C-alpha cells in the first residue's frame, strides 16, 4: 500500500483566534492546499477532524480526502495523532506521513525527498528540515504504530519519538515552507508573506550566484588541544601570511561583491581585513558567521572536558550534529542561523557574489545547505587560510579554488 498522509485538522485553533483549516493561504483554504499537495503526489490523505468538523466535511469530499473523526479532539493533538495512526494501521499501511493542516506551504519536492528517505530506510523516523531545523511532515514507520496507540499521551508524540531522535533521518529541503505554520496571528502574517513572495526564499536567492568562502588563518598555538569555538584567539604570523595569500587568490576570482562579510571573532576579522583592502570593499561583521558556540567547554583542554563531563562528552561524540556542549549550540542550530544570514545578506544585496571570511563549522553549514547532505564536523577541510567557491545551485554545489 502507498504511504498515507495523516493530516491534522481537529484542533481548537485557540492561539490563532480563527479557524485555521479554512483560513486563506496562497489562494486557497489552508486545508485544501495541503490536501492538494499530497493528493497531487498520489498519496491518500486521512484528515483527522474534530472541532467544527461539519464545516470541513464538504471540503474533504470535494478534495478527495478521507475523514477520520476524533471525538476527543479537545484533549489535545496527541488524541488526533492516535486516531490517524489507528486508521493507517487498519489500512495495513507500511508507515505514514504526519503533518498539520496549518502548514500549507510545504513543497512537493520536500515531500518527495522525504519519501525517498523513507524508502531507503523504512524502519527509521524521517523528518523534513530546513537548515537543520525539524519541520513537517514527519515519517512514522509502521513498527511504531503500536507504541503510539498504547502511549498514554504523556509528552504527546515526543513521549514515543524522543528516544529515537538522535537516529532520525533529517531530510534537508532548503524549503522554508516545511517550518511555516499558522499557530499565531504573527506566524500567519509571516506565512502569507512567504506565500506571496514578499519574503524571499533562500533557494531562489542562491540561484546563479557564487559564495566565496575563506576560513580564517592559523591562530596562535596552545600547549595542548583545547576547545575553540567562540573562544577569541588572534592569528599567528603564519595566519597573517595565509590571510595575505587568500587576498591574492580572491582578487584573481574577480568577485562581483559589494562587501566582505566576516565573523566578528578576531581570527576572522584579521583574515578578512587584507581581503577587503585588496578588493577595495567595506568590511561587515555579522554575529551569525561566528563559529559554533561550545558553551562551558570553551578554551578548556579536551582532556579536562572528558574528565569533568564524561557523559556529555560521550553523548556529543556519538551524535555530534544533534547534541550540544553544555551551554552551547548544536551544529543543526548553527546551520539554521547561517541560513538566516544568507537569506538576509542575499536579499539585501543583488551582487552576483558574496565574499565571506568565517570558520570551518560555518563553511560546512553552507555546504550542507547547498547540497542537502549532512556535514561531517570532523572533516578538516577547508584548512585554515583556504578558500572555497560554491555555486549557488541546490543539490549540485560546485566547489573549486582551494589552497
For the chain, list the domains and their CATH numbers: 5-195 (3.90.550.10), 202-400 (3.40.50.1240)
Report DSSP letters for 279-302, one per residue.
HT--EEE-GGGSPPP-GGGTT-BH
> 140 — phi, psi (to 5°)?
-115, 115
Full-model pTM: 0.85
The answer to whether 385 touches 218, Cβ cutoff 8 Å, is yes
**Residues 239-245, mean pLDDT to the nearest whole number:** 98
Q: Which of 369, 374, 377, 372 is nearest to 346 (CA)?
A: 369
The answer to whether 38 touches 112, Cβ cutoff 8 Å, is no
pLDDT at 166: 87
> 64 — phi, psi (to 5°)?
80, 30
Q: Can you tell me the distance from the alpha carbon of 218 to that of 383, in angstroms, rounded to the nearest whole number? A: 9
pLDDT at 391: 85
Q: Which of 306, 298, 213, 303 is nearest to 263 (CA)?
A: 213
> 119 — phi, psi (to 5°)?
-70, -35
Reported as a pLDDT band with limits 50, 70 and 90, residue 393 is: low
Q: Can you tell me the distance from the alpha carbon of 313 to that of 304, in angstroms, rounded to the nearest whole number? A: 11
pLDDT one-digit tens code per residue, 174-211: 899 999 999 999 999 999 999 988 888 888 898 889 99
What cell does 105 get?
506551504
What cell does 293 get?
558556540
Q: Can you tell me the distance from the alpha carbon of 72 to that of 15, in angstroms, rounded to the nearest whole number? A: 19
Angle at 205 between CA 176 and CA 280, to 5 degrees: 135
Q: Is the model's pLDDT at 400 over the cut of 70?
A: no
Q: Is the model's pLDDT at 398 over the cut of 80?
A: no
| Bond before 18 cis per omega within 30 degrees | no
**Burial of 81 from C-beta contacts in 10 A (0-12 / 13-18 / 19+):** buried
Amino acid at each position: 500500500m502507498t504511504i498515507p498522509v495523516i493530516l491534522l485538522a481537529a484542533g481548537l485553533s485557540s492561539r490563532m483566534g480563527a479557524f485555521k483549516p479554512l483560513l486563506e493561504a496562497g489562494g486557497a483554504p489552508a486545508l485544501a492546499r495541503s490536501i492538494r499537495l499530497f493528493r497531487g503526489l498520489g498519496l491518500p490523505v486521512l484528515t483527522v477532524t474534530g472541532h467544527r468538523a461539519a464545516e470541513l466535511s464538504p471540503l474533504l469530499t470535494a478534495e478527495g480526502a478521507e475523514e477520520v473523526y476524533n471525538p476527543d479532539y479537545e484533549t489535545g493533538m496527541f488524541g488526533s495523532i492516535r486516531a490517524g495512526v489507528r486508521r493507517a494501521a487498519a489500512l495495513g499501511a507500511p508507515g505514514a506521513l504526519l503533518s498539520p493542516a496549518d502548514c500549507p506551504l510545504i513543497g512537493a519536492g520536500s515531500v518527495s525527498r522525504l519519501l525517498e528517505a523513507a524508502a531507503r530506510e523504512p524502519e527509521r523516523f524521517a523528518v523534513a528540515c530546513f537548515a537543520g531545523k525539524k519541520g513537517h511532515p514527519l515519517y512514522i514507520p509502521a513498527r511504531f504504530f503500536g507504541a503510539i496507540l498504547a502511549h498514554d499521551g504523556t509528552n504527546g508524540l515526543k513521549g514515543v519519538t524522543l528516544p529515537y531522535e538522535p537516529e532520525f533521518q533529517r531530510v534537508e529541503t532548503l524549503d522554508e515552507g516545511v517550518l511555516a505554520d499558522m499557530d499565531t496571528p504573527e506566524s500567519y502574517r509571516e506565512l502569507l508573506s512567504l506565500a506571496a513572495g514578499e519574503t524571499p526564499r533562500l533557494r531562489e536567492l542562491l540561484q546563479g550566484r557564487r559564495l566565496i568562502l575563506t576560513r580564517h588563518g592559523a591562530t596562535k598555538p596552545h600547549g595542548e588541544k583545547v576547545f575553540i569555538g567562540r573562544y577569541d584567539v588572534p592569528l599567528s604570523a603564519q595566519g597573517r601570511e595565509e590571510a595575505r595569500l587568500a587576498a591574492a587568490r580572491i582578487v584573481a576570482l574577480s568577485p562581483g561583491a559589494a562587501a566582505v562579510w566576516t565573523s566578528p571573532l578576531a581570527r576572522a576579522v584579521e583574515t578578512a581585513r587584507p581581503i577587503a583592502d585588496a578588493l577595495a570593499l567595506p568590511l561587515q561583521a555579522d554575529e551569525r558567521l561566528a563559529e559554533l558556540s561550545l558553551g562551558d567547554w570553551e578554551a578548556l583542554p579536551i582532556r579536562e572536558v572528558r574528565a569533568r563531563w564524561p557523559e556529555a562528552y560521550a553523548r556529543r561524540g556519538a551524535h555530534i550534529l544533534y547534541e550540544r556542549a553544555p551551554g552551547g549550540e548544536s551544529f543543526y542550530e548553527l546551520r539554521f542561523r547561517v541560513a538566516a544570514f544568507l537569506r538576509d545578506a542575499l536579499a539585501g544585496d543583488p551582487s552576483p557574489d558574496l565574499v565571506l571570511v568565517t570558520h570551518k563549522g560555518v563553511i560546512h553549514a553552507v555546504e550542507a545547505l547547498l547540497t542537502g547532505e549532512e556535514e561531517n564536523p570532523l572533516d578538516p577541510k577547508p584548512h585554515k587560510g583556504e578558500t572555497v567557491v560554491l555555486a549557488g545551485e541546490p543539490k549540485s554545489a560546485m566547489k573549486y579554488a582551494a589552497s
